[in-house]
């Protein structure tokens, strides 16, 4: 059985800020983009990355991701930096 999970570092489109998120089935994001499912895409992106602090330095984002990795029992895809997601200008913080 596959864990299908990872820690993903998401840069802004300009690469000036980074967020770190933990997710299962990250490939759903590509599916939502290809199918034009903008609402679902935004909801998914916010669920994954809105809890993250905002990092203005890539190294600090990686350091945070490594600390997060230590708290997880299994991580199939490890830590990965992904490409900016088109059309996502701002990630709102989720209200608890």
As for how many domains the chain has, the answer is 1
Q: Is residue 46 part of a domain?
A: yes
Structure tokens at 67: 């600390």
- Using DSSP's 3-state secondary structure scheme, residue 64 falls into helix
Q: Over the stretch 70-92, which tens digit does the pLDDT of each residue have? A: 999 999 999 999 999 987 877 77
In tens, the pLDDT along 13-69 reads: 888 899 999 999 999 999 999 999 999 999 999 999 999 999 999 999 999 999 999
- Nearest one of 89, 83, 87, 51 to 68, comparing CA atoms: 51
Tell whether 17 is covered by a domain: yes
- Would 57 be classed as within a structural domain? yes
Give dist(CA 75, CA 38) in Å, integer.
Answer: 28
List the structure tokens of 37.
Answer: 């499912």
Domain range holding 40? 5-81
């Amino acid at each position: 059985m596959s864990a299908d999970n990872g820690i993903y570092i998401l840069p802004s489109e300009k690469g000036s800020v980074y967020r770190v998120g933990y997710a299962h089935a990250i490939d759903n994001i590509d599916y939502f983009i290809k199918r034009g499912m903008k609402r679902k895409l935004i909801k998914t992106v916010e669920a994954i990355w809105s809890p993250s602090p905002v990092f203005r330095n890539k190294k600090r984002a990686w350091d945070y991701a490594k600390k997060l990795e230590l708290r997880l029992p299994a991580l199939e895809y490890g830590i990965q930096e992904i490409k900016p997601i088109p059309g996502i200008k701002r990630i709102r913080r989720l209200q608890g």
